[in-house]
């Protein structure tokens, strides 16, 4: 069963989330302090964090799973090659080029989610999973000087994720089986993938679910490839030549790099990070050896995958934004996909009609009365002779 949540219309995150006690934070607090001295907490947190916070989100009365703290500065070390690839995925059907190291000083950007107060506000405003498991996903603030390239050397393990990306793209936890396979196949951590590439993966899943196609790695990389591996950037996916499926979600995805926090599993919810026998579902931390996947070896696909690729190749480029917006409204998505399918069938029918018409003499398709035709011809000849006199 697929569980979805509504997309938020929250505005962009501010360029910078002021820390508690800073001049800007004090100004905001003063602005939203009422005459009786109480604080308008919903507007205060909305102004500071950039995502919409309702007063109901701040009501107490339920246990807060984010209050647990994990680790300290001594538990973290700067990135080293990931140790979370104990079992290599089956990549026999993929075209993998030589990779290069992607450790980058440009990723050394501090997060603004450094207090439990901000993290707790985010969790109350944005739901990550179904009600049964919401409190079993623990979100922790990061420490000062902690980056997305930092690796935790001790348990409990966690992964970093940009809160801005989670909220904007409607990413649900735990990751789907396909999303986990994608991360493991590319050998990257969740925070290592560019937001637009996350949107490609999500849009692909939405289309496959609507068309009742089982999404596989082989099918996906028939249409996409890892663009390049740069030591100074996130991993990006791009379309294969002449096989574009989706438009970019945003031409310039902004204000997300300083919004990362830690995500880990609570007691009894190891499914967030592990399969059986404590095997990681995907690399938790920034990987120094991602795979440069150039495509799929089509001859290795099974018959089902080949037919799915053939069918998906008939579609024109779709808007990833439109697809993700309709993800939580099946009727709207069905209507959107139905229109696309109708247009495709109409275009295909038109192309066949044009091709067939070019091969047929129109007169062979008509019923022409021969005698009437001859009479008209004689009358026209007589009129011409009279005109000559």
Predicted local distance difference test score (pLDDT) of residue 2 = 40
Q: Which residues is 319 bridged to in the sheet?
A: 247
Give 62: exposed, middle or buried? Use CB within 10 Å, 0-12, 13-18, 19+. Answer: exposed
CA distance 379 to 325: 69
Give 384: exposed, middle or buried? Use CB within 10 Å, 0-12, 13-18, 19+. Answer: exposed
Q: Where are the alpha helices (DSSP H) in 60-194?
A: 116-125, 163-169, 177-186
Residues in the chain where the model's pLDDT stays below 50: 1-15, 59-88, 100-104
CB 121 within 8 Å of CB 50: no
Predicted local distance difference test score (pLDDT) of residue 363 = 57
Q: What are phi and psi of 28, to 5 degrees?
A: -65, -45
Give 329: exposed, middle or buried? Use CB within 10 Å, 0-12, 13-18, 19+. Answer: middle
Predicted local distance difference test score (pLDDT) of residue 224 = 97
Predicted local distance difference test score (pLDDT) of residue 13 = 42
Predicted local distance difference test score (pLDDT) of residue 76 = 38
> pTM for the complete prediction?
0.67
Predicted local distance difference test score (pLDDT) of residue 355 = 73
Tens of pLDDT, residue by residue over 286-326, are: 998 999 999 999 999 999 999 999 999 988 899 999 999 99
C-alpha gyration radius of the chain: 29
CA distance 197 to 207: 15
Judged by phi (left if over 0) then psi (alpha if -120 to 50, else beta), residue 98 lies in beta
Q: Which residues is 135 bridged to in the sheet?
A: none
- Tokens 């300083």 correspond to 258
CB 237 within 8 Å of CB 197: yes
The domain spans of the chain are 12-52, 62-328
Predicted local distance difference test score (pLDDT) of residue 124 = 93
CB 229 within 8 Å of CB 272: no
Give the C-alpha distances (Å, rounded to integers) separating 302 from 181, 207, 307: 18, 20, 9
Predicted local distance difference test score (pLDDT) of residue 169 = 96
What angle separates helix 41-49 from helix 23-31, to the nearest 10 degrees?
A: 150
């Amino acid at each position: 069963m697929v569980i979805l949540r509504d997309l938020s219309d929250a505005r962009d995150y501010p360029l910078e989330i002021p820390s508690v006690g800073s001049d800007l934070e004090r100004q905001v607090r003063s602005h939203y302090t009422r005459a009786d001295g109480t604080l308008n907490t919903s507007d205060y947190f909305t102004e500071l964090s950039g995502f919409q916070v309702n007063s109901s989100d701040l009501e107490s009365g339920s246990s807060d799973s984010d209050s647990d703290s994990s680790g300290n500065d001594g538990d973290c070390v700067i990135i080293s090659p990931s140790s979370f690839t104990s079992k290599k995925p089956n990549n026999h059907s993929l075209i993998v080029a030589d990779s290069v190291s992607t450790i980058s000083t440009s990723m050394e950007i501090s997060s603004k989610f450094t207090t439990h107060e901000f993290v707790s506000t985010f969790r109350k405003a944005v739901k990550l999973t179904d009600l049964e498991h919401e409190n079993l996903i623990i979100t922790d603030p990061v420490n000062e000087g902690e980056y997305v390239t930092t690796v935790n050397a001790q348990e409990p393990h966690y992964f970093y994720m940009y809160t801005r990306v989670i909220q904007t793209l409607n990413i649900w936890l735990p990751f789907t089986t396909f999303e986990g396979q994608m991360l493991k196949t590319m050998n990257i951590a969740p925070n290592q993938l560019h937001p637009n590439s996350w949107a490609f993966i999500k849009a692909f899943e939405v289309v496959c679910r609507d068309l009742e196609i089982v999404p596989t790695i082989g099918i996906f990389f028939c249409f996409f490839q890892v663009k390049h591996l740069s030591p100074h950037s996130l991993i990006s996916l791009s379309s294969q030549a002449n096989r574009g499926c989706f438009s970019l979600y945003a031409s310039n995805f902004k204000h997300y790099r300083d919004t990362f926090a830690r995500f880990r599993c609570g007691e009894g919810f190891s499914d967030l990070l592990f399969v059986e026998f404590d095997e990681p579902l995907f690399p938790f931390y920034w990987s120094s050896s991602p795979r440069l996947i150039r495509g799929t070896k089509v001859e290795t696909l099974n018959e089902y995958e080949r037919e799915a690729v053939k069918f998906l190749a008939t579609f024109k480029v779709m808007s990833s934004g439109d697809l993700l917006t309709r993800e939580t409204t099946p009727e709207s998505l069905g209507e959107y996909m139905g229109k696309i399918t109708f247009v495709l069938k109409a275009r295909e029918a038109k192309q066949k009609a044009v091709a067939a018409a070019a091969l047929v003499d129109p007169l062979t398709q008509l019923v022409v009365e021969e005698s009437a035709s001859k009479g008209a011809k004689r009358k026209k000849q007589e009129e011409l002779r009279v005109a000559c006199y």
